[in-house]
């Protein structure tokens, strides 16, 4: 590591590293400690957005200070993770609801005549998939 | 000062990965384990970037991007497999 950075820049990079590390460990403690699956899903999102985001910004500033030019390509990882995190959370939540039939009874009512869209589409989809496989066979 | 902050960050990332491994081995459900693996990939990205900051090279950026993409794809493929019993239909 090189030590030719001005003090205020070192201070910013160190603060961002500490903030990122704090959020990463908060996310993992949440994953380990929270009582059920849907609540556990809530913890690591902080690690994904704030933790990785702060560490990547620290990496950008550090690279800009040591190499003389600011590197923007760390923002690519941030952008990719911001796009990917909701999709993974959605997939895990949907798979959990559909896998575990006991959780369907625990879902709060929607307040309208329509049921939960995740559940209402499944029977038709299953019927269509069964017809499709029957046609293929 | 950056050395101390980096060491603190690397230590807390290591503790996070240990907690994720604990959840991965204990997790009562299959999807708990998928979620623990996804969080472990996030922590692995952070650790890769910390190595890049420590040695002050841009080489580790590509590794971090690849780890991010592989983690996202594997999580989505795993959930798709749990949902439908098939990845590409």
In this complex, the residue of A37, A63, A81 whose CB is nearest that of residue B68 is: A81
Alpha-carbon span B36 to A36, nearest angstrom: 13
**Residue A109 reports pLDDT greater than 70:** yes
Q: A7 or B16, which is more confident?
A: B16
Mean pLDDT of the residues in chain B? 89
B55-68 mean pLDDT: 88
* Count of domains forming chain B: 1
B1-14 mean pLDDT: 91
In this complex, the residue of A5, A21, A29 whose CB is nearest that of residue B8 is: A21
Kindly state whether residue B22 falls inside one of the protein's structural domains.
yes
What percent of chain B stands above pLDDT 70? 99
Q: B8 or B2, which is more confident?
A: B8
For residue B57, what pLDDT band results from cuts at 50, 70 and 90?
confident
**Cα dihedral A72/A77/A79/A80 (nearest 10):** 150
Name which of A6-10, A16-20, A122-126, B30-34 the model is least confident about.
Answer: A122-126
**Chain A residues with CB inside 8 Å of B80's CB?**
91
Judged by CB atoms closer than 8 Å, whether chains meet at A13 and B5 is answered as yes
Judged by CB atoms closer than 8 Å, whether chains meet at A17 and B42 is answered as no
By C-alpha distance, the chain A residue nearest B15 is A25
In this complex, the residue of A32, A66, A71 whose CB is nearest that of residue B22 is: A32
For residue B10, what pLDDT band results from cuts at 50, 70 and 90?
very high
pLDDT one-digit tens code per residue, B77-89: 988 888 877 777 6
Q: A68 or A60, which is more confident?
A: A60
CATH code, domain carrying B54: 1.10.287
**Chain B residues with CB inside 8 Å of A51's CB?**
42, 46
**Residue A122 reports pLDDT greater than 70:** no
Instruction: Tell me, rounded to whole angstroms, the distance of Cα B84 from its chain centroid.
Output: 25
- Which of A78-82, A111-115, A125-129 is predicted most confidently? A78-82
Q: A3 or A5, which is more confident?
A: A5
Residue A94 CB neighbours (<10 A): 17
Q: Are A64 and A49 in contact (CB under 8 A)?
A: no
Kindly state whether residue B89 falls inside one of the protein's structural domains.
no
B56-84 mean pLDDT: 89
pLDDT on residue B72? 92
pLDDT on residue A111? 77
Kindly state whether residue B44 falls inside one of the protein's structural domains.
yes
Mean pLDDT of the residues in chain A? 81
CA distance A106 to chain B (A): 17
Alpha-carbon span A131 to A128, nearest angstrom: 5
Asked if B59 reaches chain A (Cβ–Cβ under 8 Å), the answer is no
Q: Are A13 and A58 in contact (CB under 8 A)?
A: yes
């Amino acid at each position: 590591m090189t030590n030719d950075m001005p003090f205020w820049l070192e201070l910013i990079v160190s603060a961002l590293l500490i903030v990122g590390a704090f959020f990463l460990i908060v996310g993992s403690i949440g994953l380990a400690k929270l009582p059920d699956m849907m609540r556990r899903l809530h913890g690591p999102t902080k690690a994904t957005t704030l933790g990785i985001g702060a560490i990547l910004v620290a990496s950008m500033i550090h690279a800009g200070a040591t190499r003389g030019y600011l590197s923007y390509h760390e923002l690519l990882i941030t952008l990719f993770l911001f796009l990917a995190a909701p999709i993974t959370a959605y997939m895990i939540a949907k798979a959990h609801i559909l896998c575990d039939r006991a959780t369907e009874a625990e879902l709060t009512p929607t307040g309208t005549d329509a049921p939960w869209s995740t559940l209402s589409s499944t029977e038709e989809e299953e019927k269509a998939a069964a017809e499709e496989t029957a046609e293929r066979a | 000062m950056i050395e101390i902050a980096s060491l603190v960050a690397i230590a807390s990332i290591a503790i996070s990965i240990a907690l994720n491994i604990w959840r991965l081995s204990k997790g009562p459900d299959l999807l708990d384990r998928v979620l623990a693996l996804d969080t472990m990939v996030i922590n692995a990205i952070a650790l890769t970037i910390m190595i890049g900051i420590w040695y002050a090279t841009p080489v580790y950026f590509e590794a971090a991007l690849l780890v991010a993409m592989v983690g996202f794809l594997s999580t989505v493929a795993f959930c798709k497999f749990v949902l439908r019993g098939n990845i590409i239909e």
